[in-house]
Structure 1
Amino acid sequence: MIKRSLKLALLPTAVFCMVFGTGLRAQSLDEARTSTKNEQYDKAEELFQQLIKNEPSNSTYYFYYGENKLLDYFADTISNSLNIAMRDAAEVFNKGIEANPADPLNYVGLARVAFYNTEEAKADELRVKARSLLPTYKKVTKIKEPKSYAFTLAKIAESYIRFEQVDTSKALPFIREAISIDPRNSEVYLIAGDIYILVNDGSKAIKNYNLAQDWDLQSPTANMKIGSIYVKGRNLMAAIPYYEQAIALDQNYAPAYRELGQLYSMAGRFNDSKKFFEKYLELTQGNIPAKIRYVNALFYAREYEEVIKNVEEIFAIDNSRTYMNRIAGYSAYEEGNFQLAKQYMDRLFANLDADRLIKKDFIYYARILARKNQNYYKMLIDADNDAGELSKLQARSATLKGAAREKALADIDTLKAKVESARAQIKEAESELADAFTAYDRAINFENKEDLNLLYEKGTVQYAAHMYADAASTWSQLLEKGRDSENDYLQVGRAFYQDKAYDKADEIFTKMAEKYPDNLQAYLWMANTAAAKDPDSELGIARPRFQALVRKAAVDSVKNVKEIYDALRFLGYEALQSKRYDEARAYYNRMMNLSPDYRIRAHSSLSTMYMTMGEYQKAVEENNKILAIEPGNEAAKSAIQYISQLQRSAQPKAHPNEITGVISDSSGEPIAGASVRVKDTAAEAWTNARGEYKFVMPEASEALIISAKGYRSIEIPVTKRRTYNATLEK
């Protein structure tokens, strides 16, 4: 009797312990999940690990623990590695399956991982497996646990989301079935809203988020998601009430404060932004992971200087977080501080495991080094010019004596040091550019997925550095891989052209004309290439190509006026040089009828032709026609004055203000069609195919402006000399 009484007495205690134990487990799981929702992923991880340690057979813990790892990655895709995050999450889900192979949720987790790893077949197989573990039913009212059943279906739908994209034809049927089973399930409506927002259906997203709120009145999540929709639509003021409502429901809901911090930063209200970010850090207990998410928010708000400042504060507390060099390096690049950006990225590459490096690391590193050395070609030109001056100074010093010689020697030492320093900088720049191209290659082929847009970008950097052969080789790969638009052909051909590989350039432009027979640029560059191959017109290969260009362009002379003008200018000059004056006259007259914009140039060309023929009066008439159009044209006035002097003199003498010269590019090749203009006047001349020009300057001219399409303009002061040669850079 005593024994029975004792058992009866202990029974309530045992029942209480069982109930309390179950409640404690639920409470602990809720606490862990709440930490995840509050973006306290490190704290959530500790709680999940403790739950699993206490109850290793509970597969539910593993599922939410795996989700915590995925959400931790998505909260910081800058610092975290996708491969490692997916690997770690998969490991947790697999342990969940070992704990309970009949639980479908961990199969759903693995399906999500497989889908992010672009293993679609495997993901589908795992979804089928998860669905097979759900009991079949004839009536939804007969389902024993409708809430968990509907939740699993919604999670299967969610597994079709990847990188802000979703296949609604596959995902939404699961959502509809889940709602039919449990129409009061808040989490199902949240996932439905997430799916609709990804396909830009804001109204349906908001409808589902509102339903989620209706069935879980105390949850702040739905309001925050609605606020995010308005932020996405740039309607910032409309978003604020929803974030405030989320906070009203749960004053410790950290994500809402972070979102408000980002919102006010976007609105330029930085004091308000700082206030909410500080509250966010306070709620997350100022832990380093929370501060890292704050840094990410600053980065997306383009507060790059603040990013760097906060990263250094993190390093002061915990310098083991090597990956933070990544966001600091990215930010320094965006700030234009390429040297600092390189330092951060060098530390990242030196200390971070190779499998934690991401594609963006190589992209940013390539761009950092490219921008840091964007003046590489100018450095080459300046160094060569200084070296030339040094040679001249050394030769002249040998003829000097006394104090003049001592000064010259001192100048030589200074210039020599400058040249040596420049050569060292050039060597460093060449090394860093080589590293940039290696980084581009790593990014282009990252994880064996070729990125043709980056291949194009690499060629652009090579072209800008005047590495024309390399650029042509890089861009040619695009053509080989089927990226063969008109622009792709043009850039490859131009690169070969700049490299003086004229046969290869001609081959590319010819293929372009065959593939795109209506594209005039193909015919223009075929003609330009022929002119470059035959600069003195000895072979006569350019003339028929320019004639073909004129015929092709004549289909729409208004639209194609520039191409026709370029062709007529060459044909007229070529005929003039060959003394086919009637033909030259015909081309220049045709040029005059193209457009009023070209009349002065046509009259000027005719004037030059008549001067060459010795028909001075006709040359004067052409210049008078120019003055009738533009009374202040100084070039025409000077030409008339010069012709008058020639006619008065038995022995023609050069006009005292006549200047001549040759305009060439940085490699010494002449630039045809370059403009040589007297500053602040209309006096102007254009170079011939040999880059030569000659004209009479107005009195009191102070400077020449020399320019050509595709080159940087330069200004040269006018002195007593009458020959002005110049080099233009791209």
Structure 2
Amino acid sequence: YAPAYRELGQVYWRAGRLEQSKTNFKKYLDLTEGNIPAKTKYINSLFYAGDYDEVVKNVEEVLAVDQSRGYMNRLAGYSYYEKDNPDYEKAFQYMEKLFKTVDKESIIQKDHHYLARILMKKNQNYPKMVDELTSLKNQLDKEKSRLSTATAANKPKFAASVDELTKKVGTLENGVAAANKELDRGFAEYNKAFNFKRTDPNAPLSSLERSILSEMASNFYTYRRYDSAAKTWAKLIDPAKENNLADYMQVGRAYYNGEKYKTADSLFSAVIKKSPDYLPAYVYTARTYSRMDPDTKLGLAKPKFEKLLSVASKDSVKNESEMMEAMRYLGYYNMENGNYSKAKDYYNRMINLNSQNKENKIAGYNGLGSLETKAAGQEKTLEGKLGYLAKSAEAYEKIIAIDPANASAKSNLNWIREYQVSVKKGINPNEIKGIVTDKAGKPIAYASVRVKDTAAENLTNAKGEYKFEIPQDSEFLIISAKGYKSQEVAITKLRVYNVKLEQ
């Protein structure tokens, strides 16, 4: 008696015994010789039992003989999303069919929610694509600079490279634009799901609505729409909840990543006011001020990292990573601002913080190596330079003793050795010189010769001559003068760069 199995299937479904529900609906289907209503109930039981492959198979069988049952696309779309090996493209196609084949009143809240999720997953490579696009654009800019200064013999090679990179950038830009369009639609579907049953915008949020908002905010964050993530997470904060520090931090971090630093700082400050010992707030406050002063010229982050170090030092074992972050910044800050003694203190503290932590020691010795190298560059006497370089070499040797495979330390040590040899010969390997003239060969006085993306700069004298020390690993010189077109020159192993400027 077929109806008995149907009723049993319903009873088991209500009781949450989904496998038994599926078994009885299958028996019902067999006894009714596969009629469509019976198959529909069976498909529902398959879905709730998590048998998604069978759902897809049976939906396709139904739609093959009865296209009018467009609502069946719903469970196929859901199932392609939920499968162990999901196929988000097919899930999207079924959901598209659902929205096109059923009337608006037949669309349920879950349809919007699933479509939003599917579009998010379908474009999960978006952050990687954006990073790759940024990298390619940087490569393209460098190749264009090289092309502009290349010799006639090398121009074809650089031109071909520029053309190839331009095509790659164009292709990737189209991909990013398409992904953005689908993500926009996905977030619109989240909003439809959220507002589906809301008639009063001021009504308390249901558990489902909170879940949708939380998921939506997380995806805003993942797909780098930080301002929207922050505003969405803010809607979930319950002011009446006593322990909501993590919620405020979540909103603050979103604003921080979205470069809304003042807003982020206000949230972190509010957390510190509520809980003066809450270390994550001090960490992000310091990072925020570091972002606002990236070249450390204003010193905005210095007191914030000092405060972070003070708070973290109350438990140096538990807060080791936070202390390391603070000391790394303070060491660098003091080194860049010429306070080598203070910088050295911080780097030595890093080395001694945890005798068992090799990474701490390597970071500290790296700092000492950089500091001594910088001091060598500023020292005027050859003897003084050699003294600093010996200390720098010692620091890198200690890194290699800890980590024999450390390529960076080996490279730095080799460079120091070459520097030592050059100094002994009375040659500074980082010093460049040249003459800046106009097209007719007339010297240009007070022309600026600057290392790109750094503060290293020198002005030519009355004879158009310049000579100064450039930072290690510098890539380009920017030569400019009033009334002349600026010129960018690639830095090679040469130490003399004579440049002619055009008006």
Mark yes or no: TM-score above 0.5.
Answer: yes
- Pair 1:608–1:476, CA change in 2 (3 A): same
- Pair 1:465–1:284, CA change in 2 (3 A): same
Q: What do residues 134-165 of structure 1 show as CA deviations (whole Å, max 9, x unaligned)?
A: xxxxxxxxxxxxxxxxxxxxxxxxxxxxxx8x
Using the TM superposition, give the Cα deviation of residue 386 of structure 1 relative to its aligned residue in structure 2, in angstroms: 6.1
Cα distance in 1, alignment partners of residues 419 and 162 from structure 2: 46
Using the TM superposition, give the Cα deviation of residue 423 of structure 1 relative to its aligned residue in structure 2, in angstroms: 4.6
Using the TM superposition, give the Cα deviation of residue 494 of structure 1 relative to its aligned residue in structure 2, in angstroms: 1.9
Query: What fraction of aligned residue pairs are identical, expressed as a percent?
Result: 37
Using the TM superposition, give the Cα deviation of residue 375 of structure 1 relative to its aligned residue in structure 2, in angstroms: 2.5
Using the TM superposition, give the Cα deviation of residue 619 of structure 1 relative to its aligned residue in structure 2, in angstroms: 2.9
| Kept after mapping to 1: 8 A contact 2:6/2:28 | no
Are 2:270 and 1:511 equivalent residues in the alignment? yes
Using the TM superposition, give the Cα deviation of residue 612 of structure 1 relative to its aligned residue in structure 2, in angstroms: 2.5
- Pair 1:460–1:613, CA change in 2 (3 A): same
Give matches, 1:647-666, under 5 Å. 647-648=420-421, 649-654=424-429
2:330 to 563, 571, 583: 571
- Pair 1:280–1:433, CA change in 2 (3 A): same
Are 2:391 and 1:618 equivalent residues in the alignment? yes
- Pair 1:585–1:416, CA change in 2 (3 A): closer
- Pair 1:583–1:383, CA change in 2 (3 A): closer
Instruction: Name the structure 2 match of 1:250.
Output: none
Using the TM superposition, give the Cα deviation of residue 554 of structure 1 relative to its aligned residue in structure 2, in angstroms: 1.4
Using the TM superposition, give the Cα deviation of residue 572 of structure 1 relative to its aligned residue in structure 2, in angstroms: 1.0
Give matches, 1:219-368, under 5 Å. 228=17, 259=20, 279-335=27-83, 336-368=86-118
Using the TM superposition, give the Cα deviation of residue 371 of structure 1 relative to its aligned residue in structure 2, in angstroms: 1.3
- Pair 1:721–1:608, CA change in 2 (3 A): same
Give matches, 1:586-665, under 5 Å. 586-595=345-354, 596-597=356-357, 598-614=360-376, 615-630=388-403, 633=406, 635-636=408-409, 639-648=412-421, 649-654=424-429
Q: Supply the AA of the counterpart residue of 1:503.
A: K
Cα distance in 1, alignment partners of residues 109 and 286 from structure 2: 42
345-354 or 573-582, which deviates more: 345-354
Instruction: Name the structure 1 match of 2:250.
Output: 491
| Kept after mapping to 2: 8 A contact 1:40/1:290 | no
Q: Supply the AA of the counterpart residue of 2:366.
A: S
| RMSD after superposition | 4.2
Q: Supply the AA of the counterpart residue of 1:434.
A: D
- Pair 1:304–1:393, CA change in 2 (3 A): farther
Cα distance in 2, alignment partners of residues 560 and 535 from structure 1: 25
Q: What do residues 610-632 of structure 1 show as CA deviations (whole Å, max 9, x unaligned)?
A: 23333233334434444554456
Cα distance in 2, alignment partners of residues 394 and 639 from structure 1: 27
| Kept after mapping to 1: 8 A contact 2:5/2:28 | no
Using the TM superposition, give the Cα deviation of residue 340 of structure 1 relative to its aligned residue in structure 2, in angstroms: 1.7
Give matches, 1:167-566, under 5 Å. 228=17, 259=20, 279-335=27-83, 336-380=86-130, 382=132, 422-448=172-198, 450=206, 451-479=209-237, 485-566=244-325
Q: What do residues 190-225 of structure 1 show as CA deviations (whole Å, max 9, x unaligned)?
A: xxxx7xxxxxxxxxxxxxxxxxxxxxxxxxxxxxx9
- Pair 1:357–1:634, CA change in 2 (3 A): closer
Cα distance in 2, alignment partners of residues 620 and 409 from structure 1: 42
- Pair 1:382–1:555, CA change in 2 (3 A): closer
641-650 or 536-545, which deviates more: 641-650
Using the TM superposition, give the Cα deviation of residue 474 of structure 1 relative to its aligned residue in structure 2, in angstroms: 1.9
Q: Higher helix proportion, which one? A: 1
Question: Which of structures 1 and 2 has the bigger CA Rg?
Answer: 1
Using the TM superposition, give the Cα deviation of residue 419 of structure 1 relative to its aligned residue in structure 2, in angstroms: 5.7
Q: What do residues 705-726 of structure 1 show as CA deviations (whole Å, max 9, x unaligned)?
A: xxxxxxxxxxxxxxx989xxxx
Using the TM superposition, give the Cα deviation of residue 512 of structure 1 relative to its aligned residue in structure 2, in angstroms: 2.0
Using the TM superposition, give the Cα deviation of residue 636 of structure 1 relative to its aligned residue in structure 2, in angstroms: 4.6
Cα distance in 2, alignment partners of residues 631 and 356 from structure 1: 67
Count of equivalent residues: 410
Using the TM superposition, give the Cα deviation of residue 289 of structure 1 relative to its aligned residue in structure 2, in angstroms: 2.6
Q: Where does the alignment leave 5 or more consecutive residues of structure 1 unmatched? A: 1-30, 42-70, 77-163, 165-193, 195-224, 232-257, 263-275, 656-668, 671-691, 696-719, 723-730
Instruction: Name the structure 2 match of 1:84.
Output: none
Using the TM superposition, give the Cα deviation of residue 545 of structure 1 relative to its aligned residue in structure 2, in angstroms: 0.9
626-635 or 341-350, which deviates more: 626-635
| Kept after mapping to 1: 8 A contact 2:5/2:27 | no
Q: Which has the higher contact order (CA 8 A, sep 6+)?
A: 2
Using the TM superposition, give the Cα deviation of residue 528 of structure 1 relative to its aligned residue in structure 2, in angstroms: 0.5
Using the TM superposition, give the Cα deviation of residue 499 of structure 1 relative to its aligned residue in structure 2, in angstroms: 1.7
Q: What do residues 419-453 of structure 1 show as CA deviations (whole Å, max 9, x unaligned)?
A: 66555444433332222111111222331255122
Cα distance in 2, alignment partners of residues 624 and 362 from structure 1: 60
| Kept after mapping to 2: 8 A contact 1:489/1:508 | yes
Cα distance in 2, alignment partners of residues 428 and 39 from structure 1: 46
- Pair 1:464–1:652, CA change in 2 (3 A): farther
Cα distance in 2, alignment partners of residues 516 and 298 from structure 1: 51
Using the TM superposition, give the Cα deviation of residue 457 of structure 1 relative to its aligned residue in structure 2, in angstroms: 1.3
Cα distance in 2, alignment partners of residues 540 and 411 from structure 1: 40
Cα distance in 1, alignment partners of residues 229 and 88 from structure 2: 23
Instruction: Name the structure 1 match of 2:478.
Output: none
- Pair 1:347–1:644, CA change in 2 (3 A): closer
Using the TM superposition, give the Cα deviation of residue 583 of structure 1 relative to its aligned residue in structure 2, in angstroms: 1.3
| Kept after mapping to 2: 8 A contact 1:455/1:475 | yes
SS in 1 for 2:236: helix
Using the TM superposition, give the Cα deviation of residue 355 of structure 1 relative to its aligned residue in structure 2, in angstroms: 3.5
Cα distance in 1, alignment partners of residues 255 and 41 from structure 2: 48
Q: Supply the AA of the counterpart residue of 1:530.
A: Y
Cα distance in 2, alignment partners of residues 485 and 572 from structure 1: 34
Cα distance in 1, alignment partners of residues 399 and 124 from structure 2: 43
Q: Supply the AA of the counterpart residue of 1:616.
A: L
Instruction: Name the structure 1 match of 2:500.
Output: none
Using the TM superposition, give the Cα deviation of residue 504 of structure 1 relative to its aligned residue in structure 2, in angstroms: 0.9
Using the TM superposition, give the Cα deviation of residue 477 of structure 1 relative to its aligned residue in structure 2, in angstroms: 2.2
SS in 2 for 1:462: helix
Cα distance in 2, alignment partners of residues 549 and 388 from structure 1: 35
Cα distance in 2, alignment partners of residues 389 and 631 from structure 1: 32
- Pair 1:389–1:591, CA change in 2 (3 A): closer
Cα distance in 1, alignment partners of residues 69 and 308 from structure 2: 62
